[in-house]
Chain A
Amino acid sequence: DAGVTQSPTHLIKTRGQQVTLRCSPKSGHDTVSWYQQALGQGPQFIFQYYEEEERQRGNFPDRFSGHQFPNYSSELNVNALLLGDSALYLCASSPLGQGANEQYFGPGTRLTVT
């Protein structure tokens, strides 16, 4: 049973560019959340998707947007990249309403903005 997978593993972008990160949830999970983790800090919640809709959003600007597909996979898009967007981006999945505090995280995508 494959766990949460993310692609790419690493990415280097230039300020002002746009980036798309991808996530496939654990088998049987229908809810996907995205987190940003800066170096030395805990993960910060970006948003959560269920039934192809954004259900909750953290304190992130509109430059951060997402999408969920019918197969439950998800994308995170970041426009107009800033140096401060450099971080590890984590995707987490869970089955809706079942011990939602237990989320399964992927290995993350390390984004570097130069």
Chain B
Amino acid sequence: LAKTTQPISMDSYEGQEVNITCSHNNIATNDYITWYQQFPSQGPRFIIQGYKTKVTNEVASLFIPADRKSSTLSLPRVSLSDTAVYYCLVGDPRLSGGYNKLIFGAGTRLAVHP
């Protein structure tokens, strides 16, 4: 499983765009990149998943360069409620016939200030 590296913490202010970059130099051909969000005392919540180029949903955008060795989660116009830990995960959802365990790192603690 590819190891990921992301900043331990980030600070931002309400209304700003936040970009969190994740490095995954050993990503395999079949691996997808997935981001989860976790609020205190809650379970992680799936945000977005992508394989290459750009993926956008109602919550965030995910940018993946051609070499796929890194990815950037972009949160537009953050609010105080976006204060959370963000995890970058890399893995093949089809591994072992569909059984897939998620490998979490320490994540990035995002603090949004008024």
Contact = CB atoms under 8 A, between A and B. Distances in A.
A74 interface: no
A41 B103 CA distance: 12
Contact of A99 (B49, B85, B89, B107): B49
B54 to A, nearest CB: 18
B100 A44 contact: no
Contact of B99 (A31, A88, A105): A31
B41 A101 contact: no
Contacts of B34: 101-102
Q: How large is the interface on B (under 10, 10 to 19, 20 to 34, 35 or more residues)?
A: 20 to 34
A48 B46 contact: no
Interface of B: 32, 34, 41-46, 49, 85, 87, 89, 91, 93-107
Interface of A: 4, 31, 33, 35, 40-45, 48, 50, 55-56, 58, 88, 90-92, 96-108, 110
Contacts of B94: 97, 100
Contacts of A4: 43
Nearest to A100: B100
Contacts of A31: 98-99
Contacts of B99: 31, 48, 50, 55-56, 96, 100
